[in-house]
Amino acid sequence: MKVSVLGIACLRVFWELLAFECKKFNECNVYPREKMRSALVFEFNDADFPRKSYETKQYKKGLKAADAILKKFPEHGETLSMKGLTLNCMDRKSEAYELVRLGVKNDIKSHVCWHVYGLLYRSDREYREAIKCYRNALRIDPDNIEILRDLSLLQAQMRDLTGFVETRQQLLTLKPNHRMNWIGFAVSHHLNSNGSKAVEILEAYEGTLEDDYPPDNERCEHGEMLLYKTFWCSFVYDIILQISLLEECGSFERALAEMHKKESKIVDKLAYKEQEVSLLVKIGRLEEAAELYRALLSMNPDNYSYYEGLQKCLGLYRDNGNYSSGEIDELDALYKSLAQQYTWSSAVKRIPLDFLQGEKFREAAFNYVRPLLTKGVPSLFSDLSPLYDQPGKADILEQLILELEHSIGTTGKYPGREEKEPPSTLLWTLFFLAQHYDRRGQYDVALSKIDEAIEHTPTVIDLYSVKSRILKHAGDLAAAAALADEARCMDLADRYVNSECVKRMLQADQVSLAEKTAALFTKDGDQHNNLHDMQCMWYELASGESYFRQGDLGRALKKFLAVEKHYADITEDQFDFHSYCLRKMTLRAYVEMLKFQDRLHSHAYFHKAAAGAIRCYIKLFDSPPRSTTEEDDDKADLPPSQKKKLKQKQRKAEARAKKEAEGKNEESSASGVSKSGKRHVKPVDPDPHGEKLLQVEDPLSEATKYLKLLQKNSPDSLETHLLSFEVNIRKQKILLALQAVKHLLRLNAEDPESHRCLIRFFHKVDLMTAPATDTEKLIWSVLEAERPAISQLQEKSLIEANKFFLHKHEDSLMHRAAAAEMLFVLETNKKSEALKLIEDSTNNLAPTNGALGSVREWKLRDCIAVHKLLETVLAEQDAALRWKARCAEYFPYSTYFEGKRSGMYNTAYKQMLTNPENGSASQAGVSADAIASNGKLEAFKNLAIST
């Protein structure tokens, strides 16, 4: 129906009059709110302008439009909600929540108000509350696609898989012509462990497509969907494995047939071949799979997984690496033929080193090592280091490299070769030998080799980095930091070398110097915020460990919890991919991402951070900080003059902190405000030293939060259950402590820490009073039932079990120390006997055939642990001094034991401390004589990074 211009004008006048009347009735509170909303729509040409401004991030315009509407209709719920949502985007959260709640109150039957309320909660990561709001909105408007889509994203994020399936099904019902709804419904069933249903949905979707589908611009997305489908045909096989082997094989055949049928429509041919060969192996068609693996090797002959797959097809693969002599001969022949075919491949030469033995291994190692030494590949030792875990191969490598060193040093050629080698070949041979002897614990020989290499070519940065690593292993952490800084100053633009230097400084507890060095590669020198924003977790972990060693629990806890926050942010970052991956059809990557997120907290960095935080809370519980009242009592005893000085110092410190905070605020405000009206303000840390983190009422309850995460995600880690025992034994949770002991015995009953926990636990149980309450009687009955089931205590007292453990491991230092400590715990009057157990330990030679010296069994970290045991638990200072003197002979470079060579490499370090600004001209005053022994080039000190 056509409407004239005059008619439109008349309608406009009519609705303006209606709006006027609406306003009058609204002021008298007699006009229905639903009619007011209708009048509002016609009052403005575009009443939806606030929402559009929000979607286009024009927050100031949206705010102005909302104010204009609210000026006439101050109780309009939807406009109040949209204004609140806009203010939330402008970092005015308190006002935003107030307005949105008022909007919901004024118009509780509006799905828009509830939807906006959910969006507000979602922005603050309150996903459960957001889901409640979305469900309230859907009660009012059950077919709203936007709300359903937002709800499905939150359900996927929270892994509410049953609800996710229902929501995706509703979306598909409402909009069946949308590809994303079909794919989302299939993915929801797959995530809900219903792979067969997912395949049926994808097949039903394919049935709706035309024969010439897809067009050229959608071929990649459609091919990805087909690969995803075949992938989940094989997934169905894994599910049906529990029911019937025949049905499983049928699913694999079906997946393979589907792939062959749709081959022309799959664009990613490499992924197609990899998926096909995987299915062929699972079906058992190994000959076809072997041919396909050979075809894949022709495409990429350096892919180790292809060689492994080929070995499996030929029946020549063992997970443990133990092969019979016949299998070794077959493998040797296989890789020789492959080496002739792929002469440029590195993998085909490296893999045989894992299974060859004796003279064949020596010959293959020579052929592999020789060109890499000539080329000068610094990572050669890292490549060969796994071979050191196989008996005898480290000795063969040592003899081989020593022969090469002697031949190159005397003749300049490899043994049996006529070609002259470049001078750098000797350098990299010495470089390899230094790392070899460092790995075997022969630090004297390692240092002599690396010094010889530095004397040969003093401008190679890797030499100083390796020398720093050797000194760290030898126990001279300060000198290791100095050598790492020496390497850094030779290339001030290398971030990796800078990071390695920072790590060495943190290991030497030089935190302030490490911060200044790290600041050279941060924006405007703001290293704290910048490193935190970059999620530089290795730095925060190393800093936390350093602060913990120094007893600064507040800063240590702050660093560990910062890492935990990074993992929370990574978990939140997956939210945007729930819609993106379905839209872009990256389905396999999406599934792998979700699997990765589900096991995210099992990552090593999170484990270290959580364990560090738990240790901080345990130490905080054992040694709580002094309260302010106690400090005030101490101050009251001071004379008036000292009180006055103390107050002056406090006032100066407060004024300095206030000035720094104001300066930071000025810098942040200078950045201005964006066009959208959102302020870009750098947050100022209100607790830079972590003092507030120490003010917890119950440290053990805080530790329990992180302990539960470790128990869920790292159940096979010994440290997890050691921490569980320490926390629960302090909380008097006897059964939970018993559970931790049982886990320790399950994982490694012969570990010294497991033995300590076992004896400590049952010694505490023996000292418990008789049970009085029903709960205590129940706990007692459980303990009586469990104790006989522990093999270490069967028909033995705790003293007898400790003696048996000592007799079983009498040649191990750490086992003897654990037995001695438990002897003292069980019988405190036998301290002298416990000391004798430790001091009678012998440092035997390790079973190796090192050509340039013997290697002893004791490790530096173990000897340090024993020294701390003598000092703290046994509290015997004379014995601790005797132990220190004894270990100083075994570890002459150790600064902890004050070895006779521990100061040999410290001259440059002492000079470095007097000039803390690394990498700047301020270090030009360091004398060349003081650092010449380390090969430092003074000219590099004057270089600075240009910004």
Q: What is the pLDDT of residue 690?
A: 85
Q: What is the pLDDT of residue 217?
A: 56
Look up tokens 């530096």; give the residue. Answer: 860
At CA 539, angle to CA 537 and CA 541, rounded to 5? Answer: 65
Are 322 and 391 within 8 A, CB to CB? no
CA atoms within 13 A on the CB side of 662: 6
Angle of helix 831-839 versus helix 860-872 axis, rounded to 10: 160
H or E stretch including 633?
A: helix 628-636
CA distances, 781 to each of 377, 774, 778 (Å): 64, 11, 5
Which of 334, 372, 370 has its CA nearest to residue 352? 334
At CA 727, angle to CA 724 and CA 733, rounded to 5? Answer: 90
CA–CA gap between residue 489 and residue 942 (Å, rounded)? 9
CA distances, 323 to each of 265, 286, 307, 390 (Å): 43, 20, 16, 13
Are 130 and 123 within 8 A, CB to CB? no
Predicted model pTM: 0.80
Asked, as a colleague might, if the bond just before 214 is cis with ω within 30 of 0, I would say yes
Q: What is the pLDDT of residue 555?
A: 93
Residues 6+ away with beta carbon under 8 Å from 429: 373, 401, 404, 405, 408
Which of 247, 272, 250 has its CA nearest to residue 261? 272
CA–CA gap between residue 405 and residue 418 (Å, rounded)? 16
CA atoms within 13 A on the CB side of 852: 20
Low-confidence stretches of the chain (pLDDT beneath 50): 1-47, 232-250, 628, 668-678, 850-851, 908-909, 912-913, 915-947
Q: What is the pLDDT of residue 180?
A: 84
Are 475 and 895 within 8 A, CB to CB? yes
Per-residue pLDDT tens digits for 130-151: 999 999 999 999 999 999 999 9
